[in-house]
A = this chain, B = another copy of it.
């Protein structure tokens, strides 16, 4: 089970590491962190560096592709070799997935035309630019493409995928192994968030109408 993660500067690192922590525990998982070139990619913020051990020129297929998002996805959209690589790998995968605004990279690569898809709540409308139908759900599966909502949703997406790939017992063992029994202190839904919370987020995101 060869699992390729596309990484790049200014990614939101939890987008990638949530799924990494789940999918690396699949039986016979072989994970590859793939950058346009090899070397350290700096997350957003840059105080975290992660290693791309492979360049896109060195990886020509995968069973699972995971595309994270973050501010850097806009630069990736402007890099034809990276978009071509995403298309090339997608042609070989069993599952092509994204987390957060990684779906905008899938969209820019032309993979979401006519498909239902999701992304971070603050970017949902953008999916329409790529011919996708924006869906406000935590995980959207359409054919072999699975898109997840913002950042932490990659953990749920990866467990969903683990279940698809390896069945319920393996997937639950992974969930129990990473003790994913969440107890968040607040309601994390943007549409239900109090006005002062949304005001704080408005500088960075398009805030939704309140539910």
The residue that A47 contacts in the complex, of B31, B182, B197, with Cβ under 8 A, is: B31
- Give CA–CA (A120, B18) in the complex, Å: 17
Contact at A152–B169, with CB atoms within 8 Å? Answer: no
Contact at A188–B201, with CB atoms within 8 Å? Answer: no
Report the minimum CB–CB distance from A73 to chain B (whole Å): 15
Report the minimum CB–CB distance from A161 to chain B (whole Å): 10
Contact at B188–A184, with CB atoms within 8 Å? Answer: no
Contact at B178–A14, with CB atoms within 8 Å? Answer: yes
Which residues of chain A from 154 to 211 have any CB-CB distance to chain B below 8 Å in the complex? 155-156, 159-160, 163, 168-173, 175-190, 193-194, 196-198, 200-201, 204-205
The residue that A153 contacts in the complex, of B24, B159, B179, with Cβ under 8 A, is: B179
The residue that A190 contacts in the complex, of B152, B159, B179, with Cβ under 8 A, is: B179
Contact at A31–B45, with CB atoms within 8 Å? Answer: yes
Nearest B-chain residue to A29, judged by Cβ: B45
Contact at A181–B138, with CB atoms within 8 Å? Answer: yes
A33 within 8 A of B: yes
Report the minimum CB–CB distance from A92 to chain B (whole Å): 19
Knowing A13-B17, A17-B17, A20-B48, the reply to whether A178 touches B197 (Cβ < 8 A) is: no
- Give CA–CA (A153, B160) in the complex, Å: 19
Q: Which residues of B contact A190 (CB under 8 A)?
A: 176, 179
Q: Which residues of B contact A200 (CB under 8 A)?
A: 169-170, 173
A135 within 8 A of B: no
Q: Which residues of B contact A120 (CB under 8 A)?
A: 179
Q: Which residues of B contact A49 (CB under 8 A)?
A: 33, 50-51, 53
Interface, chain A (partner B; CB < 8 A): 12-14, 17-18, 20-21, 24, 29-33, 40, 45, 47-51, 53, 100, 120-121, 138-139, 149-153, 155-156, 159-160, 163, 168-173, 175-190, 193-194, 196-198, 200-201, 204-205
